[in-house]
Amino acid sequence: MSNQKPFNLEDRTFEFARDCHFLIKNLSKTISNIEDAKQLVRASGSVGANYIEGNEKPGEKDLKYRIKISRKEAKESEYWLKLLKSQNPSHSNDIEKLIIEAAEIRKILSTIINKLDG
């Protein structure tokens, strides 16, 4: 994970999902880690996928819907990361960075939604 975050949200959500994948590769293969990791892979990938789909702008209503899904998936990613953190104290720092990134992405998406409402 680099310290410099991309300005482009498509790139940033891609890097978030990629970094979640990298984290998972380093975790022990316990049953709980495997199941939580599956959920994290789905949620973290869905953040960017829904954002990209929303940016195709077939209409403002669809854009708003997709951004809301993306925000929900970012929040869900935080949840799975917190569960993984509780079971993997040796990876606590790396997981905490991803939790913070998920929260920042969620806040950015909330701001976009608020602007669309305004």
The first and second tokens of residue 103, run together, are: 């929260």
Q: Give me the CATH number covering residue 31.
A: 1.20.1440.60
pLDDT at residue number 117:
85
The first and second tokens of residue 107, run together, are: 């806040």
The predicted model scores a pTM of 0.90
pLDDT at residue number 118:
73
27 belongs to a structural domain: yes
1 belongs to a structural domain: no
pLDDT at residue number 110:
96
Q: Number of folded domains in the chain?
A: 1
pLDDT at residue number 56:
85
56 belongs to a structural domain: yes
What is the rounded distance in angstroms from the CA atom of residue 113 to the CA atom of residue 38? 28
Domain that holds residue 66: 9-117
What is the rounded distance in angstroms from the CA atom of residue 92 to the CA atom of residue 29? 16
No. of H helices and E strands in the chain? 4, 0
pLDDT at residue number 6:
58
Mean pLDDT per 10-residue segment, the chain (118 residues):
71 97 97 98 98 85 93 98 97 98 98 89
What is the rounded distance in angstroms from the CA atom of residue 114 to the CA atom of residue 102? 18
pLDDT at residue number 101:
98
3 belongs to a structural domain: no
